[in-house]
């Protein structure tokens, strides 16, 4: 949307380089990519440039290098280009835009290709998140309310698993 800035998270440094190259071409503008191989000085400069800009910007970040410790309230959109197995890691990265001083509504988008590994990761993440929510909201009491079949599904290995090698 016009006037908005975005954070784009990827878990792979190589994908970040590819995204940067393609997005710079498509939008005819420079886009920084913050990743683990950069110096602290380079990272600080990128963050400062993004935060102080008055023009719409996109900021590409590796999930590990950009997922913690940054305040990026300039962003009103957060994109997760590829999903990570641990929902807490993604949530922590998303929180870079939800910091003290944020005055905008922030929209979070997650790219998922149906029928792929990312689709299965997304289903697993949603399942973990729902289960964690049940435990946090009701303690273990929800386990006593599960039917025998539902309890078995929670505790059983998948039917196609062969067990440990």
Closest CA to 47 of 36, 34, 37, 56: 34
Which tokens sit at 98? Answer: 């939800």
In total, the chain counts a number of residues equal to 165
Distance of CA 64 to the CA centre of its chain: 10
Cα–Cα distance between 130 and 93 in angstroms, integer? 20
Q: What is the predicted pLDDT for the residue at 123?
A: 85
Q: Mean pLDDT of residues grouped by 10 in the chain (165 residues)?
A: 84 94 93 93 94 90 83 90 82 82 83 84 81 68 73 71 53
Q: What is the predicted pLDDT for the residue at 165?
A: 47
Contact 106, 78 (CB under 8 A): yes
Q: What is the predicted pLDDT for the residue at 15?
A: 95
Cα–Cα distance between 101 and 154 in angstroms, integer? 41
pTM: 0.74
Q: What is the predicted pLDDT for the residue at 69?
A: 75
Distance of CA 93 to the CA centre of its chain: 6
């Amino acid at each position: 949307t016009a006037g908005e800035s975005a954070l784009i998270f990827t878990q792979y440094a190589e994908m970040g380089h590819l995204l940067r190259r393609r997005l710079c071409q498509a939008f005819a503008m420079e886009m920084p990519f913050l990743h683990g191989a950069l110096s602290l000085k380079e990272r600080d400069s990128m963050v400062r440039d993004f935060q102080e800009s008055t023009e719409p910007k996109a900021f590409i970040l590796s999930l590990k290098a950009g997922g913690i410790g940054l305040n990026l309230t300039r962003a009103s959109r957060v994109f997760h280009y590829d999903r990570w197995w641990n929902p807490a890691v993604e949530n922590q990265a998303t929180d870079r835009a939800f910091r003290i001083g944020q005055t905008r509504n922030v929209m979070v988008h997650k790219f998922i290709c149906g029928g792929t590994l990312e689709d299965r990761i997304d289903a697993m993440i949603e399942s973990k998140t729902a289960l964690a929510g049940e435990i946090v909201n009701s303690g273990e009491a929800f386990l006593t309310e599960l039917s025998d079949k539902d309890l078995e599904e929670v505790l059983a290995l998948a039917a196609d698993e062969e067990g440990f090698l």
